[in-house]
Structure 1
Amino acid sequence: MATLSASPSPNPNPNFRSPTDQTDHDPESLPHMELHPSSDQDPTPNSNPNFHAVLPTPPEAIAPAAAAAPSLLHISFNQDHGCFAAGIDHGFRIYNCDPFREIFRRDFDRGGGIGVVEMLFRCNILALVGGGPDPQYPPNKVMIWDDHQSRCIGELSFRSEVRSVRLRRDRIVVVLEQKIFVYNFADLKLLHQIETIANPKGLCAVSQGVGSLVLVCPGLQKGQVRVEHYASKRTKFIMAHDSRIVCFALSQDGQLLATASSKGTLVRIFNTVDGSLLQEVRRGADRAEIYSLAFSSNAQWLAVSSDKGTVHVFSLKINGGSPGIDRSQSASDPVCI
C-alpha cells in the first residue's frame, strides 16, 4: 500500500541539492516528488506506540548524547559513489567521500533506529526503513523522507520485513525475502513484481546510467541470477555458479554483471544482454565470505572485499566484440589491499 503526502518545500539545507540544482550535476533530472493525498488514504500520523514520530528539530539543536557510541546498522553509497549514508540506532549520517567529511546528520529522540537508508544522488529525498532494537519506523515499511521538510512525504507498506531498497531517478525498488516490487517514483504506482529464491540479504542491483533500467536479482534456483531489461521487455536468466549467490554488482550502464558464490574463490563477469561469461578472476584458493563487489565508473576495475580482511582489485580486460572468457585474466594476480 502506498501513501502519499504534500510536495516538498524549498531546500533550506546547503548539504543537499534540490532536484533542480541536481540537474547541473546529472544530465537527467531527478524526480520532483510532487505527491498529494489520495481521497481513500488516511493522512493521519502513525498511532502505534512502538514506533516514534519524527522530530522536526534541526540536528544543531539536539544536545550531544553522553551515552555510548552509536551502533552501525546499515551503510550504503549513493548512485555516483560520491557520498555514503550510515543508518545507526538513533538516526542516520551522511558523509562525503572525497574529501572525506560528515556533511549531515539527523538524530531521532527515544531510540529511532534506521536499518536501511538509501540516498538519491545528493538530493533531499531518501528512503528509510526502521531497524535495530528500537526502530524509528516499522521494518515492513519504506518511508520516503524529505529532509527539506524534516518529515516523511510517502510510505510503502508490506506484509513482511523490507530487506533493502534501491533508488533511481524514476524508480523505487523494494526487496523483501522472496519478492521484489518496482514502483514509479513520481506517484508510487506499482509497475512490476518479481519472485525470487530466499534472499535474506536483499540482493538487488539497478543500473544508474541515463537511459533504460536494468535490474538484477536472484532467480528461483540456487546459483541463478535474473536480469530484467525494461526497455526491451526482456528477461535473461544466468546460471552464474553451482553454489548459492552471496553477492553481485552491476556496472553503471547495466551491461556488465559481476557475481560471487558462497565458496568465495571465483568472481565471474557476465554480459547482461546475452548472458555470456566474459571473464573469470580468482580471489584465492581458500573459501571466503565475499562482502561486496564494485565496478569502477569506467568498468575497467573490479574491487572485491571479503572476511579475510583484504580488498582485491582486478583489472578487467573484456573484449566487448566477442563474448567468452578472457583466459589471460582468469588466473591473474590482483592488487591486494
Structure 2
Amino acid sequence: MATLSASPSPNPNPNPNFRSPTDQTDHDPESLPQMELHPSSDQDPTPNSNRNFHAVLPTPPEATAPAAAAAPSLLHISFNQDHGCFAAGIDHGFRIYNCDPFREIFRRDFDRGGGIGVVEMLFRCNILALVGGGPDPQYPPNKVMIWDDHQSRCIGELSFRSEVRSVRLRRDRIVVVLEQKIFVYNFADLKLLHQIETIANPKGLCAVSQGAGSLVLVCPGLQKGQVRVEHYASKRTKFIMAHDSRIVCFALSQDGQLLATASSKGTLVRIFNTVDGSLLQEVRRGADRAEIYSLAFSSNAQWLAVSSDKGTVHVFSLKINGGSPGIDRSQSASDPVTSPHSSLSFIKGVLPKYFSSEWSVAQFRLVEGSQYIVAFGHQKNTVVILGIDGSFYRCQFDPVNGGEMTQLEYHNFLKPEAAF
C-alpha cells in the first residue's frame, strides 16, 4: 500500500483496525512509495472562500459520539479495492466496515457536524481520500483531503476550480474526477501526470485497474455512449463506442483487461476487451428500461454482478476465453455452464435480438427503487450488497443450477444501537 508520511519512517500504527503497509502480503513491497508532504496542488488551484465551509484545521477534532441516537444520513458508500471493506460517508463524519466478518472497524464523527461526501480507501492501509459533502460539509467540495489515520489528521490536499465528483486510489496514483475533467497524480509527490477531458460526467464515472501490473484507466469519452481507455504502460489510448445511449455505469476487471458497460437504457450489459476494444459478450438484465447502479467482476473475472433500480441483483456467467488478444481465461471442464439463453434462441437471426440474449444465472430480490451497489465476497460464490438505506446483505448463488440466491446475512450498518 502507498503510505503517506511527512518523515521517511512513519510512526507505528496506533489503530489496530487498519493494517500498516508492512502487513500487506499481497503486494510488492517495492511498490510502496513514501510521500513527502505537499499540502496542496498547484494544478487548477482556486481556494474556496465560502465561509459556510469549515476551515481545515491542522489537527481535526477528536472523534466524538453523536449527541442524538438518530441514525446518520448516508452521503456515500463504496467498497475498497479488493471488496474486503467498505466506507460510508455520513452527515457528520465517516465510518469503515469489514465485510467478512461484518463489523464496524473504525469511525470518526466530527463534533462540528461536517459531512463527508466521498470516502475512498486504499485497500486496508491508513490512507483515505476525503471530500466534503451534504448540507454542512466538513471540507470544501472542491478539495480532496488526504487523511492519514496514523496521525489522525489531513496531511495534504488537492484543490480544484469545481466540485470533485469522485476519487480513485491506487498504490501509485491518485485520480480525481471533476464534471468534465480528470486529473491523474503521482501518489509519492502529488505531481500532476495527466489531464483528460470528458463529456459531462456528473456521476464521476471512472475506473482504474488494481492488479500488480501497469495502470489502465477508463472514463467517459467526448461523445455520448463512448468510453476512453488509457493504457499507461504502452502509452496507448483506445476509444470504444459501447452504446448508442449515454453511459451510466462501467467496471474494470482487476487486471484491467475486461470492461463491462451499461447505458441509460439499462437493458444490456456489454463486456469488452480493453486492449483492442472488441466486444466479447453481451448479457441482458431485462426487457424494460432500468437505471444500472453498479457492475462488478469477480476476482477471477468468471462472474459479473449487476444491480439496478428494479430491485434485483443479477449474476451472469462470463465465457471469456483465449480467443481474444491478451486474454486467457479458458474454462475448465468443472466450470459451470454459461448464462442461459432464451428457449427460442434456435431461430437466432429470425426473431429480434432479445430472444437470443444471455440471461443471468442467479438473482436476488431487493426493495425496488432503492439504490444498491454490489461486489463479490471473499467466500466462494457469494455476493455482498450495500444499500443507500444502510442495508448490508451477504448472499450465496448456486454456480451450476443458478436461480434465486440464498440470503446468508443481513445488517443495518447505520443503526446506532447495533453492536459490532
- What TM-score, normalized to structure 1? 0.88
In structure 1, stretches of 5+ residues that fail to align are none
Cα-Cα RMSD: 4.7
Mapped contact 1:3–1:37 kept (Cα < 8 A):
no
Mapped contact 1:2–1:155 kept (Cα < 8 A):
no
Residue 253 of structure 1 is matched in structure 2 by: 255
Q: Alpha carbons of 1:21 and 1:330: their partners in 2 closer, same or farther (altered >3 Å)?
A: closer
SS at structure 2 position matched to 1:103: strand
Mapped contact 2:291–2:309 kept (Cα < 8 A):
yes
How far residue 284 of structure 1 moved from its aligned partner, in angstroms, is 0.4
Residue 386 of structure 2 is matched in structure 1 by: none
For 2:286 and 2:269, how far apart are their aligned partners in 1? 10
* Identity level (%): 99
How far residue 88 of structure 1 moved from its aligned partner, in angstroms, is 0.3
For 2:43 and 2:272, how far apart are their aligned partners in 1? 44
For 2:41 and 2:212, how far apart are their aligned partners in 1? 35
For residues 10-30 of structure 1, give each alpha carbon's deviation from its aligned partner in whole angstroms, at most 9, with x where no partner exists. Answer: 311001112222246666643
For residues 245-293 of structure 1, give each alpha carbon's deviation from its aligned partner in whole angstroms, at most 9, with x where no partner exists. Answer: 0000000000000000000000000000000000000000010000000
Q: Alpha carbons of 1:114 and 1:37: their partners in 2 closer, same or farther (altered >3 Å)?
A: closer
How far residue 333 of structure 1 moved from its aligned partner, in angstroms, is 17
For residues 47-74 of structure 1, give each alpha carbon's deviation from its aligned partner in whole angstroms, at most 9, with x where no partner exists. Answer: 9743335689999962442153110000
SS at structure 1 position matched to 2:223: coil
Mapped contact 1:4–1:37 kept (Cα < 8 A):
no
**Aligned partner of 2:190 among 188, 191, 198:** 188
For 1:207 and 1:324, how far apart are their aligned partners in 2? 15
Q: Alpha carbons of 1:124 and 1:330: their partners in 2 closer, same or farther (altered >3 Å)?
A: closer
In structure 2, stretches of 5+ residues that fail to align are 338-419
For residues 106-157 of structure 1, give each alpha carbon's deviation from its aligned partner in whole angstroms, at most 9, with x where no partner exists. Answer: 0011111000000001000000000000000000000000011111111000
Mapped contact 2:63–2:110 kept (Cα < 8 A):
no
For 2:268 and 2:2, how far apart are their aligned partners in 1? 41
SS at structure 2 position matched to 1:48: coil
Q: Alpha carbons of 1:74 and 1:332: their partners in 2 closer, same or farther (altered >3 Å)?
A: farther
For residues 146-173 of structure 1, give each alpha carbon's deviation from its aligned partner in whole angstroms, at most 9, with x where no partner exists. Answer: 0111111110000000000000000000
Mapped contact 2:146–2:155 kept (Cα < 8 A):
yes
The worse-fitting range, judged by mean Cα deviation, of 50-59 and 326-335 is 326-335
Mapped contact 2:168–2:174 kept (Cα < 8 A):
yes
Residue 137 of structure 2 is matched in structure 1 by: 135
How far residue 320 of structure 1 moved from its aligned partner, in angstroms, is 2.6
Mapped contact 2:142–2:162 kept (Cα < 8 A):
yes
For 1:188 and 1:198, how far apart are their aligned partners in 2? 25
Q: Alpha carbons of 1:13 and 1:69: their partners in 2 closer, same or farther (altered >3 Å)?
A: same
Q: Alpha carbons of 1:137 and 1:2: their partners in 2 closer, same or farther (altered >3 Å)?
A: farther
How far residue 303 of structure 1 moved from its aligned partner, in angstroms, is 0.2
- What TM-score, normalized to structure 2? 0.71
Q: Alpha carbons of 1:210 and 1:27: their partners in 2 closer, same or farther (altered >3 Å)?
A: farther
Larger radius of gyration: 2
Q: Alpha carbons of 1:43 and 1:177: their partners in 2 closer, same or farther (altered >3 Å)?
A: closer
Q: Alpha carbons of 1:298 and 1:334: their partners in 2 closer, same or farther (altered >3 Å)?
A: closer
